[in-house]
Amino acid sequence: MRASIPAWAFFLGAIVFALSPYFGIPAWTLTLATLVSFTAISLVGLNLIYGLTGMLSLGHAAFFAWPVYLGAILYALGLPWLISIPLALVIAIALAGLLGLIFIRLPGMYFAIGSLGFAFVTEGLARAFPSLTGGASGLVLVSAIRLEPEYWYALSLIALAVSLLIYRRLTVGGSYRTLKLIRYDELSSEVLGINVARVKLRIFIIGSAYAAVSGVFMAFFVGIIVPESGGVNMSLEYLSMTVIGGAGFLFGPVLGAVLVQWLFAIAGAADEYELLIYGLAFFLVVLYAPQGLSGLIASWWRKAVRSRTASGPVHLTLNADIDDEVRPSPATRPPGTTCLEVSNISKRFGGLVAVSDVSLTVCHGQIVALLGPNGAGKSTLFNLISGIERPDTGKVSLQGHDLSNTPIFKRATKAGRSFQTPRLVPEMTVLQNVAMRLDNLSGSQHEAEINNTAYRQLIKYGLEKYANEPVHKVSIGSHKLIDVARASIGSPPLLLLDEPAVGLTEDEVSHLATMLNKLRSTGAAILLVEHNFEFVKSVADSVVVLDGGNVIAAGSVEDVMRSSKVQEAYFGALT
């Protein structure tokens, strides 16, 4: 695997950070270190939401303020702090869940705008009801907890350590791969079996809970909460610190909070220098550390490791021969029985008829090639079968089950799909990309078994030498094989392969044909789109030809190619 910073280095860094207020660093006092630690807790939550999952939240600070204001109101109504604060936290987290149900379904920038609006509302409410919130002057917590600075600092370190441990627990192995895939490609995530809406909602709630807990600690430490604490400016500051520290990295929030808050302290509260500090920090990050401080440190470490040791292949202990992978029993895939049945399916996009009254069947142990010129409706038909598009008429059945109301992610256990342009995560390794499909299948294995199975799959496709390489460093042709390897892992009954041989060398095409024949022998039903006619002749049992969204021919390869309609539609394309 890629060289990673060892645990002892993190442990040493944590000790240095804990002792840093006693090093005599200018402006780095015990109070500032405590403020930074409590702030970093909120940033850890934003790192989950944005850094890993890619939800650009511009209103994160609102959840910092809500439990404090709610707790103070409940306290004023007669509830003691020990009851009002936990109850306020529950209410704030429930509010995050309610807003999450709305926000996570908003595409791209609309999520950011929605969260931004919530920050405006939060700050506005805090200013509009001074009798409850203290208004613009802020709300003083008259019964705030009294602790010595050393105890507050110790508490902040413990709270930060717990928050990082929880973050680490949420972002290892399959969970990490799932979040990174969602960030990069939500459609591919659904096709691989991830319930994207549910995962994003869970992460949004957890990340908002981090902010809520951070707000409670911070408010009791300073003894006051002001409207700006939950507003837009503070939310943008949180985002800035996360990006500067390194979005998506474990210690990115801590590094970002330390650097920015220390620079503010050095500049003397930084009121008049705030824009200058942020502008300079962003300028330097964009130029020299696009992945933030954490990414820069990780890059330095990898270079140092590579200079001392040559990178080698992944070494995993295989617990079985590569051809002994557990497969469905023949009873579940009797050759010749119907696996996929498409019945009279049609799809229109406005006035364009993309697919018109198409019917086809793919049996277990059969490879059917779907041919046709560009624009014939092949990709649309694949999308209809995958659930990406819904048919206007007709239905799709898989192993006798009507898929009309089955969401995309629930079809993943029965159907694996590759794409015309492979939808891989470039920054993740080839092994990680292939393992992604296993993470969300029913009966998921332990991490070691998932990696083991994924590595065996790479061996089958001749890709093991790339296992520890990031995808963006692997040839484009190999991306096709990686995509097919991922689609077929876990032995799904149906395989949908969209132009799998495009970009492959002659030897790679031959190897792919061998692998598809092996899959067919296990009872897999394979429907493939391909323009390489020689490849189709070497693997396909039958062919269906589309033109203008209509089936113009179906049957054996030889019979179909003698069809005058096919020759007219495909003239010159197959020579």
Q: pLDDT for 97-125, tens place per residue? A: 999 999 988 877 899 999 999 999 999 99
**Better-predicted residue by pLDDT, 441 or 514:** 514
Quote the CA–CA distance of 537 and 288 in Å, as a whole number. 52
CA dist list (Å): 307 to 270, 302, 310, 470: 41, 9, 7, 19
Are 341 and 397 contacting, i.e. CB atoms less than 8 angstroms apart? yes
Note whether 25-304 and 335-569 share their fold: no
The first and second tokens of residue 539, run together, are 């693997």
Tell me, what's the pLDDT at 278?
A: 67
Tell which CATH architecture fits domain 25-304: Orthogonal Bundle (1.10)
Q: Among 257-261, 269-273, 310-314, 431-435, whose mean pLDDT is lowest?
A: 310-314
pLDDT band per the 50, 70, 90 thresholds, residue 571: low
294-308 confidence digits (pLDDT tens):
988 888 887 776 655
Decide if pLDDT at 254 tops 50: yes
Note the pLDDT of residue 544. 92
**Tokens encoding 472:** 């963006």
Q: What residue spans define the domains of the chain?
A: 25-304, 335-569
pLDDT tens digits for 181-190?
Answer: 999 999 999 9
Q: Residue 176 is encoded by which pair of tokens?
A: 């990490």
pLDDT surpassing 80 at residue 277: no
Q: What are all long-range contacts of 464-470, with beta carbons under 8 Å and residues at least 24 apart?
A: 464/313, 464/314, 465/313, 466/430, 467/313, 467/314, 467/429, 467/430, 467/431, 468/1, 468/2, 468/311, 468/313, 468/314, 468/429, 468/430, 468/431, 469/429, 469/430, 470/2, 470/426, 470/427, 470/428, 470/429
| Second-level CATH architecture of 335-569 | 3-Layer(aba) Sandwich (3.40)
Which helix (H) or strand (E) element contains residue 481?
A: helix 476-488
User: Quick count: other Cβ atoms within 10 Å of Cβ 308?
Assistant: 7
Mean predicted confidence (pLDDT) in 417-423: 92
Copy the structure tokens of residue 408.
């995309």
Q: Flag whether pLDDT at 373 surpasses 50.
A: yes
